[in-house]
A = this chain, B = another copy of it.
Amino acid sequence: MLIIGLDIGGAYTKIATIKVQGKKMEALDISSEYFPFWKFSNQFPQLIRERLPEEEKLIGVTMTAELADCFSSKEEGVEHILNSVRSIAKTLVLNTSAKFINAEKALESPLEVAASNWIAAPLLISKYVPNALFIDVGSTTTDIIPIIDGNLSALGRNDLERLVYGELIYTGAFRTNLATIVQSIPFGDNIVPVSSEYFSITADVHLLLDHIRGKEYSCDTPDGRGKTKEDALRRISRLICADMDMLDEADVMCIANHIYKKQIEQIQKGLLSVIKRQDISRNTPVVLAGTGAHFLGEVAIKQLGYSDIRYFENLFEKCIGFSDAKISISAPAFSIAFLLAIEEMVK
Contact = CB atoms under 8 A, between A and B. Distances in A.
Interface stretch (A17-25, A192-200, A274-282): A192-200
B179 A245 contact: no
Contact of A179 (B177, B197, B238): B177
Copies in the complex: 2
B73 A160 contact: no
Contact of A169 (B72, B176, B193, B269): B193
Contacts of A181: 196
A170 B192 contact: no
A196 B222 contact: no
A24 to B, nearest CB: 40
A170 B196 contact: yes
15 contacts: A38-B223, A69-B223, A69-B235, A158-B246, A160-B192, A160-B240, A160-B242, A163-B195, A168-B241, A169-B193, A171-B196, A177-B179, A180-B196, A183-B183, A193-B269
A73 B243 contact: yes
Contact of A245 (B70, B73, B190, B234): B73
Contacts of A235: 69
Contacts of A69: 197, 199, 222-223, 225, 235, 238
Given A74-B245, A166-B193, A176-B196, 11 more contacts: A67-B241, A69-B223, A72-B234, A72-B243, A73-B234, A74-B243, A158-B241, A163-B194, A177-B177, A193-B269, A198-B198
A242 B164 CA distance: 12
Interface in A197-231: 197-199, 222-223, 225
A241 B197 contact: no
Contact of A111 (B38, B170, B176, B245): B245
A193 to B, nearest CB: 5
A192 B169 CA distance: 10
A186 B74 CA distance: 23
Interface string A12-36: 0000000000000000000000000
A244 interface: yes
A195 B223 contact: no
Contact of A70 (B190, B223, B241): B223
A115 B270 CA distance: 40
A75 interface: yes
Contacts of A187: 164
A245 B110 CA distance: 12
A211 B246 CA distance: 38
A112 interface: no
A159 interface: yes
A270 B183 CA distance: 13
B164 A177 contact: no
A176 B179 CA distance: 11
A201 B195 CA distance: 14
Interface in A109-143: 111, 115, 140
Contacts of A169: 193
Nearest to A269: B193
Nearest to A164: B190
